[in-house]
Every structure is written in structure tokens, then in C-alpha cells.
Amino acid sequence: MGVMMPGTVDVDVASVYSAIEKSAALLDVTASRDIVLPVLSAYEDALDQAVIAFRVATNARHEGDFDARFTLPKEVDPYEVALSKGLIARTDHPIGTLLSDIQRLCPIDSYGIDFGVTSGFKKIWVYFPAGEQETLDRLNRLASMPPSLAGNIDFFTRYGLADKVDVIGIDYRSRTMNAYLAAPPECFERETVLAMHRDIGLPNPSERMFAFCEKSFGLYTTQNWESNEIERISYGVKTENPMAYFARLGTKIEHFVKNVPYGVDDPKMVYAAVTSDGEEYYKLQSYYRWRSVSRLNAAYIAARDKEPA
């Protein structure tokens, strides 16, 4: 497979499907045409302007799947499209009204969707306009919000996060919600990372995880509707050398990192989290097409611009 320079990739349904198929195969995952093509076709009109990325996770729960994601303009309602095309089923669960509630309350810059190449449609991201972060006080007015968001307001306030919501992620498959937060620098320091995990009852991170957090540009929390607890905190790092984090995490990941032919000169995103039972796992995001003028990459751009020349 030849290397394609950023910005030169084709973005019609057939070419993106082919790229997904080849990339998933690097992890011994077989993409399902019956799952992938309907998703790409449903949002076909938006593909030519989209940021498109692929992601793989290292934990056992994600074994055998491979995710693709892309951005959508605010004029496209991703949930209504997914319903109308049969990608997801309508539900009476509060998650079914969360996006429309957010749309009524908040200004929105753009959206993103995520799907698994064997499991189908998973998530919608809601990107708030740059510099217009939402507050938990406003978001908690929505009856469809997970109760753990309001129930942990003291936690978010204590660490300077309550007014820093950049992005909301809605996972329809696992019925969870992510709040992506523009965290102050101290949230990535060892003592604060330790305190935050202890405050919400998560196991202490390993030394390796502490070192990872020190390089983070942002974090997100995960909530569900069945618990008043915060499920986990995940940290994000941008890197040109993802194997610095993945060296001991299996030959499939290494093979993918070294052989994925797309976006080779673009930064990679690595996310890390500790589960409630102490398992630490990582997610790697590599770009099929990178566009710097996108809210998807705003956190990376902000982190990069803070670095010394």
C-alpha cells in the first residue's frame, strides 16, 4: 500500500470504505460491507468536507472491532439521519431526546459520528463553538442529562471543570455520555490526577499512566443514566510517535501504527483511562483526512499553539 499525502485522499463512499477495509485488516478485523456502507451512504453528502479518522482500542471489550469517525456540518442532524436510515432504533430512554434537548439550549458549531466496522452506529459528538464553552449549570437544566452530571457538580467545581464543557459525546450503543472538558493545567499533574481518581472511587493510576497524563491536552468524563457515579476519566495526548505509548500493548497495535498508510504526517491522538477494576487501556486515533480548520482538532491546535517554538 502506497503512502498518500494528507489532503490528497479520495472521500467518496467507495474510497473511504476501501480505506476502512484495509486499515481494519491491519488489526485482523474484517469490515462488514452491510454495516459500513449504509453509514457512509447516509452521510455521503458531507464526506467531501469531513475530517475522517480511524480508531482502535487496546482493551478486551473492543477486541475484534475497529472504529471510523467523521465530522458533519451543523446543518445535518446526525440523530435524525441515523433514525431515518435505520442505523439506530428509536428509544424511550432519555438518551433518545438528549441531542434535540442540547440543540434547543446551546449554540452548536458542528457534529461528529462514530461507528464500528463490525458493530455499527455508535456515537454522536456535539461540538460547541470555539471559545463558547458550555457550563454544567446550563446543561444540567436538561431532564435528559445523566443524573451523575448534576450529582457530581462539587467534583467538577473543585477541579475547575464546571464551566469548561467543549464537546458532548452521546454513545447510543453503551448508553453513556462523555463530557469533554478544557481542563486547567493542574488537572494533569500527578497529585491532582490521583486525587480526582480517588474522589470518584477509581483505582490509582500506574506510574505509566501518571507520565501519560502529564502530557495531556484535555480530558473527558463518562457518565451513564443508571448510576450517580462518574464511570471514568479519560486523558488525551497528541503525539507523532504513538508507539511511545503502545510499545507493550500488543503486536496488532504496533502493526497498525507502522503500516496504516493514511495521515502519516498528521498528529495521532492517544487516549488513556483506568476502569473501575483497575484495567488501564489506550485508544489510538489516526487520520484518514486531517483538516486543521475543524472543531474536532481544536484541542490539538490549542495545545500545539501553547508549545514553545
291 or 97: whose pLDDT is higher? 97
Tens digit of each residue's pLDDT (9 = 90 or more) over 18-46: 999 999 999 889 999 999 999 999 999 99
pLDDT digits (tens, 9 = 90+) for 232-259: 999 999 887 777 775 555 667 778 877 8
Cell 495526548 belongs to 237
Written as one string, the DSSP assignment of 30-75 is ---HHHHHHHHHHTGGGGGG--EEEEEE-SGGGTT--EEEEEEETT
Instruction: For residues 52 and 68, give the distance between their C-alpha atoms in angstroms, rounded to a whole number.
Output: 7
Neighbours of 155 (CB within 10 A): 16
CA distances to 25, 124, 127, 157, 292 from 132, in Å: 40, 19, 10, 18, 19
Do residues 57 and 283 touch, judged by C-beta distance below 8 A?
A: yes
Q: Provide the 10 A C-beta neighbour count for residue 101.
A: 16
Cβ-Cβ contacts under 8 Å for 309 (sequence gap 6 or more): none
Region 178-204 average pLDDT: 96
Lowest model confidence (mean pLDDT) among 4-13, 106-115, 122-131:
4-13
Residue whose entry in the numeric block shows the C-alpha cell 473543585: 158
**Distance between CA 177 and CA 165 in Å, rounded?**
13
- Grid cell for residue 134: 458550555
pLDDT at 246: 59
DSSP H helices, the chain, are 13-25, 33-42, 78-84, 95-105, 136-139, 147-151, 153-158, 190-199, 207-213, 243-246, 251-259, 298-306
Which of 47-61, 64-78, 247-261 comes out lowest in average pLDDT? 247-261
Q: What does R_g of the chain's alpha carbons equal in angstroms?
A: 18
- pLDDT tens across 129-150, in order? 988 999 999 999 999 999 999 9
Whole-angstrom distance, CA of residue 251 vs CA of residue 171? 29
pLDDT for 166-178, tens place per residue? 999 999 999 999 9
Domain ranges for the chain: 13-304
pLDDT: is 298 or 95 the higher one?
A: 95
Q: What is the pLDDT of residue 278?
A: 86
In which residue are the cell numbers 497529585 written?
191
- Asked whether residue 3 carries a pLDDT value surpassing 50, the answer given is no
- Evaluate if residue 59 carries a pLDDT over 80: no
pLDDT band at 306 (very low <50, low <70, confident <90, very high): very low
Q: What's at 4, amino acid-wise? A: M
pLDDT interval class at 98 (50, 70, 90): very high
Task: Report the first-to-last Cα separation within the chain, whole angstroms.
Answer: 35
Query: Is 70 exceeded by the pLDDT of residue 48?
Result: yes
Query: Which residue from 169, 173, 231, 164 is spatially nearest to 197, judged by alpha carbons?
Result: 231
Label residue 263 by pLDDT band (50, 70, 90).
Answer: confident
> What torsion do the CA atoms of 94, 96, 100, 105 make, to the nearest 10 degrees?
20
Residues 6+ apart with CB under 8 A from 183: 159, 160, 161, 164, 218, 219
Evaluate if residue 301 carries a pLDDT over 50: no
